[in-house]
Structure 1
Amino acid sequence: MSAYEQYVGEKNKIDAYIEQQYIITGVREGLSGDWLELKHPGGDETALLVETADARKYFANLLIKQSRKV
């Protein structure tokens, strides 16, 4: 899989959670990528491994937008 395809896959996963009204509650950095922690207003929680730099930039922008709404 190319780096672009991996980025698109990660971006689509992030977007799917955001469309379901999940919010980003935390980020844990690791050697293999960043773990994005998400929580739904209904109480469900999940974590998503983000490996590509472009996807990390993408969720950082979402996190900034989210913090401005609060």
Structure 2
Amino acid sequence: MSEYQEYRLEREQIDFLLERGYRITRVSENLSGAFLDFELIEGTKQEWKQLNIKTPEGRKYFSTLLFRKLN
């Protein structure tokens, strides 16, 4: 898979979770990429998901989303 295709897949996964109501609760970065922890709270039900973002473009994408949310 090309790096662009990998980035598109990462972006689609992030967007899918955010559209479903998940929110990013933790970012853990290392030399291999970043791990994003997502949490969904619906009433008394809680769900967690984790994505491993490996591409530089994917890391830029979620960083941009976080900065937009802060402003």
TM-score (normalised: structure 1): 0.88
How far the C-alpha of 1:32 sits from its partner, in A, is 1.9
TM-score (normalised: structure 2): 0.87
Flag structure 2 segments of 5+ consecutive residues without an equivalent. Answer: none
**Following the alignment from structure 2 to structure 1, what is the Cα–Cα distance between the partners of residues 70 and 51?**
19
The residue that corresponds to 2:5 in the other structure is: 5
> Amino acid of the residue matched to residue 70 of structure 2?
S
Task: Flag the structure with larger Rg.
Answer: 2
**Following the alignment from structure 1 to structure 2, what is the Cα–Cα distance between the partners of residues 48 and 66?**
19
For structure 1, which segment, 7-16 or 31-40, has the greater mean C-alpha deviation from structure 2 after superposition? Answer: 31-40
Q: What is the percent sequence identity of the aligned residues?
A: 37
Say how many residue pairs are matched: 68
Runs of 4+ in 1 over 4 A off after TM superposition: none
Flag structure 1 segments of 5+ consecutive residues without an equivalent. Answer: none
**Following the alignment from structure 2 to structure 1, what is the Cα–Cα distance between the partners of residues 59 and 21?**
19
Q: 1:1-20: per-residue Cα shift (whole Å, max 9, x none)? A: 11100000000000000100
